[in-house]
Amino acid sequence: MTASIRPIIFVIGTLIIVLSAAMIVPFLLDLHDGRGDSARAFLSTGFIGIVAGSVMAMASRGDNSNLSVRAGFILTAGSWAVLALWAAIPMRYSGIGLDWTDAIFESMSGLTTTGATVITGLDTQPRGLLMWRAILQWIGGIGIIVTAMAVWPLLGVGGMQLFRLESSDNSEKILPRAAQIAAAIAALYLGLTILCALCYSAVGLSTFDSIAHAMTTIATGGYSTRDASIGAFLDEGGDLVALVFMIVAALPFVAWLVALRGRPSALWRDPQVRGFLTLVVAATVILTVLLMATGAHGNESAWRFAAVNAVSVITGTGYATADFNAWGPIAQASLFALMFAGGCAGSTTCSVKIFRYQIAILAIRRHLVSLVHPNAITPMRYGNQVVSQQTVYSVLGFLFAFILIFIVSAIILNAMGLDTVTALSGAATSLANVGPGLGPMIGPAGTFQPLPDPAKWVMTANMLIGRLEVITVLVFLTPRFWKS
């Protein structure tokens, strides 16, 4: 086994062990509830995964401290794809009628924290299966934070160089540094999940619902145990708990760590935090005015429906408290645009992310200044950092690739027979990892189950591409990447 492949096999094997060990939770739940098919699926898949992962890890153990840039790309994309496929196995054999297309769609949606679902009748599904969906999103949430903060800056993906946490060469010491960052973030991530679960429990949710929703809220994933999503807990105030913790999870976790260590100003000094909070307030105000004008939910509760659904879409959580297809075309268009927003880098959120828009605006401003003053030297600053030309190119390249994939996938979905609204929103919500789309089929009141299988595969690919920041997957299509 070559030195370049060994760390990839080792990490993937280790991740399979972790994922398989987590299957003990849904197994015990379904065993307790007498759901034999589902319990056996989780037990057998978990056992095989632990054995197979152990063999992979032991066969590739050794000095895995060095990881090249090329291996970093392969490890990032390969681990997410393999874990999604492995997580789909118990879903396929859980006895609820999912074929392989639906099972892989559901597991990919879970692991990428997209939240789009093909499962109907959630209120009566096995509790183990529902908890498994929540576990997948929780694992995907912390996984994306570590990847975004420890690996992508070293790979130069989509402008993430701004958030580089070490000064080592790009070809060395990715894994040890990732482990150090993961240790601090994991403690905060777990602590927030526990706090969120306690808050859900305090407003009246059951222990099961509190834990499941806490995991998917902090992961900004949006999988629920109810068909009505978080809207099933309006009377208890569960939507307000979700609102607070969706915002918390959308802020940079490293900034949270700094703030908790005695420097709370670190959060507000971050330009992307200010930009995100400004967008949240603006979107809430606009939607509140629209709802009050239409009288959809009454003037007193209009802000509540507007805030929860706006933040859910912006952060890509995918919770819903109402069918916003009934809010009118302006509100629908606003929510469609918000799908492309995202939260902060280093959070569990998805989509384009605020900092990329800010960098693009700064780049445009600098270009306009250079037209008027061609000899002027105007370094571009983002917060306290000077933005390099390479970072600008990475951001603009990401934006171009994101828009291009959205357009191409929307055209493909439309060519498969989907109506224009479903095709556009389906492409957007899957690529931006948001969850529900627009229209009666895939909107908040529907599911993705009625879609043809080819359309589900397009959206499954979109989920992976979008969650891995687009460039991480597209780089495999370049011949130069595969040259020695």
- Per DSSP, helices labelled H in 219-345 are 238-249, 253-260, 265-269, 271-294, 299-314, 329-338
pLDDT at 267: 85
Task: Please list, in sequence order, all residues whose beta carbon lies within 8 angstroms of the beta carbon of residue 159, skipping any fewer than 6 positions away.
Answer: 355, 356, 359, 391, 392, 394, 395, 398
- For the chain, the maximum distance between any two Cα atoms, rounded to a whole number of angstroms, is 76
Closest alpha carbon to 470 in 216, 179, 159, 146: 159
Contacts of 303 (CB under 8 A, 6+ apart): 284, 288
The owner of tokens 């302006």 is 330
CA distances in angstroms from 179 to 160, 176, 249, 260, listed in the order given: 18, 5, 21, 20
Structure tokens of 17?
């062990």
Sign of CA dihedral 184, 188, 193, 195: positive
Residue 472 backbone dihedrals phi, psi, to 5 degrees: -60, -30
On whether the CB atoms of residues 375 and 142 are closer than 8 A, the answer is: no
Q: Would you state the torsion angle of the CA atoms of residues 335, 317, 175, 77, taken in this order, to the nearest 10 degrees?
A: -70
382, 393 Cβ separation under 8 angstroms: no
Residues in the chain: 484
In a 13 Å sphere around the CA of 162, the CA atoms on its Cβ side amount to 29
Nearest residue to 106 via CA among 423, 437, 463, 412: 463
- Is residue 196 a contact partner of residue 317, using CB atoms and an 8 Å limit? no
> Which pTM was predicted?
0.92
Query: Can you read off the two tokens belonging to residue 273?
Result: 């935090």
Instruction: Kindly list the domain boundaries of the chain, sorted by start residue.
Output: 365-482
Q: What tens-digit pLDDT sequence spans the chain (484 residues)?
A: 566 688 889 889 999 999 999 999 999 999 999 999 999 999 999 999 999 999 998 988 766 566 677 888 888 889 999 999 999 999 999 999 999 999 999 999 999 999 999 999 999 999 999 999 999 999 999 988 888 777 777 777 777 877 765 433 444 444 556 667 778 888 999 999 999 999 999 999 999 999 999 999 999 999 999 999 999 999 889 999 999 999 999 999 988 988 888 888 888 888 999 999 999 999 999 999 999 988 777 677 889 999 999 999 999 999 999 888 888 899 999 999 999 999 998 899 989 999 999 999 999 988 888 888 887 777 888 888 888 888 888 899 999 999 999 999 999 999 999 999 999 999 999 999 998 999 889 998 889 999 999 999 999 999 999 999 888 888 888 888 777 5
pLDDT at 66: 64
- Ramachandran category for residue 95: left, alpha or beta (phi over 0 → left; psi -120 to 50 → alpha): left
